[in-house]
Amino acid sequence: MTAAAVGADLVDREWSLAELALAYSYPESAGREVWLRANMVSTLDGAGQHDGRSQPISGAADMRIFGTLRALADVVLVGAETVRQEGYRPVRARAEFAAARAAAGQGQAAAVAVVSASLDLDFSVPLFTSPLVPTLVLTGAAAAPDRVAAAEQSGARVVIAGDGKGVDPARAVRALAGLGHTRLLTEGGPRLLGQFVAADVLDELCLTISPMLTAGDAQRISGGPRVAVPHRFELVSLLEEAGFLFGRYRRS
């Protein structure tokens, strides 16, 4: 992997997991203050998925960074539709990151937090019934009581993050921080990321540019409400492997 940190020399070799963890480390303040980063992949022509899934436009290096980002996070936030489309499973413990997580006061693995207004989810799957860390379900105060009960019976923890049926993005971030989860990672999908962008609560974007073209009408990496003025982010680092580019951008 060729790595070019901004202002640094090129390094023409593959990075170890420890080096990737250092390159993608959260700011020191993230242990005290909430920090929300997103990790997304896009093709050269702007498609955030192919046939409804991100896997076909991903690659081996992308998956190594994907695993590293999960290993650094307290919580992985994901939308309900992405859970259904991608067949989400619990985050697994990684022996390579055990010492670093313990030193940071983190548990064995990140929890998954599913954002869902309707709670139209299959609560019998392993994501809810057998995670290392109980899965969180973020929903609104007006969510159907029977669906809330089904979530709780599966072992999930329901967190109210909205006054109506929907979830307020800023309130969701605050609710997770209130539970002690300050290192947040969202893996989308596009609608959820768009909501975080519109609410101006996204601190960082880790974006993989896949050297593929798909055409068609696939979604971009974010959708939903348009912001009045585009949010400016600055490039922190850039990695390359096999034509894939891995950019890390922070809020200016």
Q: Which H/E stretch holds residue 159?
A: strand 157-160
Residue numbers in the chain where pLDDT is lower than 70: 1-13
Q: What is the side-by-side order of every strand in the sheet holding 75-79? A: 11-12, 2-5, 233-241, 244-251, 204-210, 35-43, 183-186, 75-79, 111-115, 136-139, 157-160
What sign for the dihedral angle of Cα 49, 234, 19, 103?
negative
One-letter amino acid identity for 232? R
Q: Taking a C-beta distance cutoff of 8 angstroms, is the pair 4, 10 a contact?
A: yes
Q: Taking a C-beta distance cutoff of 8 angstroms, is the pair 83, 121 a contact?
A: yes
Task: Map out the domains of the chain with their CATH numbers.
Answer: 2-251 (3.40.430.10)
Looking at residue 50, what is its pLDDT?
84
The pLDDT tens digits of the residues spanning 184-236 come to 999 988 999 999 999 999 999 999 999 999 888 888 888 888 888 888 999 99
Looking at residue 12, what is its pLDDT?
53
Looking at residue 7, what is its pLDDT?
38
Residue in 251, 248, 95, 225 with CA at minimum distance from that of residue 166: 225
Looking at residue 2, what is its pLDDT?
54
The pLDDT tens digits of the residues spanning 96-109 come to 999 989 988 899 99
pTM as predicted: 0.90
